[in-house]
Structure 1
């Protein structure tokens, strides 16, 4: 998140709209959403497309593969995180943009915009944890499936350079949605470990790794069953670069 904010500030301090004449024939933008890569690393890649509908409106979508960001070490009492054998994810979003013609000097896709949006993401994870026993350390896999579908409203600014290159910043996008989490144990637990302790381990590990995604866990519900379903608020921030044609 710090890298995303610093890069956004640099773009804002540099970006200015050009006074050159507009080219209304370029109504398409393909782009790379850099935010998942900045947060989770090169295993995440999301691409998008924007279609200009008029001087003040456009529609856009993003889709791609995402990975859950993981901390390099985790210790809770006597147990410790060993490794991750599965870290897959999918992200999809769509928005309908209204460019503020009263504020912007040029027409879409350049300038300030507001937009309602839909966002869906899923993480399919499996982690191994080491539990100490009288016979040594036993490793147990805990699989976790995280799903979220949210809707909200965003405020952003898209810079267009030389009529071709774009930098799109979504400053803030408050949203509300449904978050579900389901976990399962791969193999047998050591005799001295209960299912509730295993669920708590998985929850704490994920919260330590990326609290912004999983802070909707209901601790009591999840610790008893390995499942949680809740409604809650979140925020969307995006930095993406594109090519206009």
Structure 2
């Protein structure tokens, strides 16, 4: 059996990291990172993070980005999805890291770290639909908004190569997350909007891992909104470039 490219890549990173244990690493206080995780989860995702060393073995970080809601092809048995007229979204976050002095042989931002984080995600999507459960198919459009607010703690490891490049892996990141969704139907139709809203909601929340279980049996209220508090999680894969004044240790 041939080893997978991912395992070969991981082995290379680990070998390179441990091979540098005996080297002095220059101290650059800033790292600009590209978050590749959301590129796998969402459409047109462009998220950048900035990490800055604040104290020996401590750092703070900020994240901003743009992303779109995942493409949904099946909205329900009686709902035909047509074109998406609008799509957009954002990510904003902040974190503080403590690089474990006893676990790491090098200064931050290299090695094992823990710390709190906060993130908020937002998505907007507008789409045309056709409802077919009536005698005559009826056209409408829905406007949906999703907001997620997460406060949690994370454990991760950051590799540094040649004092310039970094590979940042968030391995564990549980959080308390507030999930807020709102939807309204627009158009000249005669069907009951409550039934259609909840059918569309079931299809959309399946795009968020674990959210379908959290919102089980939840329905929109009379104003077309749902709001629930639950457990979330975070994992990330970021590639970074380090910059700033060089100081040899």
Task: Give the TM-score of the pair, scaled to structure 2.
Answer: 0.86
8 Å CA contact 2:129, 2:139 repeated in 1: yes
Distance 1:184 1:78, change over 3 A: closer
Alpha-carbon RMSD across the aligned residues, in angstroms, is 2.2
- Post-superposition Cα deviations, 1:94-132, rounded to whole Å, max 9, x if no partner, equal 110000111111110001100100111111111222112
CA distance in 2, matches of 1:148, 1:157: 25
- Does 2:19 match 1:23? no
How many residues in Structure 1 have an aligned counterpart in Structure 2? 234
Match of 2:35 in 1: 33
8 Å CA contact 2:75, 2:204 repeated in 1: no
Q: CA shift at 1:216, angstroms?
A: 4.3
Distance 1:45 1:8, change over 3 A: farther
Match of 1:147 in 2: 147
CA distance in 1, matches of 2:241, 2:75: 45
Mapping of residues 89-104 of structure 1, within 5 Å:
89-104=89-104
Match of 1:88 in 2: 88
- Does 2:119 match 1:116? no
3-state SS, counterpart of residue 167 of structure 1: strand
Distance 1:7 1:180, change over 3 A: farther
Match of 2:50 in 1: 49
Match of 1:66 in 2: 67
3-state SS, counterpart of residue 76 of structure 1: coil
CA distance in 2, matches of 1:10, 1:80: 44
CA distance in 1, matches of 2:97, 2:80: 46
CA distance in 2, matches of 1:235, 1:202: 24
Mapping of residues 216-235 of structure 1, within 5 Å:
216-217=214-215, 219-222=217-220, 224-235=222-233
Distance 1:7 1:138, change over 3 A: farther
3-state SS, counterpart of residue 128 of structure 1: strand
3-state SS, counterpart of residue 222 of structure 1: coil
Q: CA shift at 1:10, angstroms?
A: 5.8
Q: CA shift at 1:225, angstroms?
A: 4.2
Q: CA shift at 1:139, angstroms?
A: 2.4
Which shifted more, 81-90 or 105-114?
A: 81-90
Q: CA shift at 1:209, angstroms?
A: 3.3
5+ residue gaps, structure 1, are 1-5
Which shifted more, 225-234 or 114-123?
A: 225-234
CA distance in 2, matches of 1:97, 1:65: 24
8 Å CA contact 1:33, 1:46 repeated in 2: yes
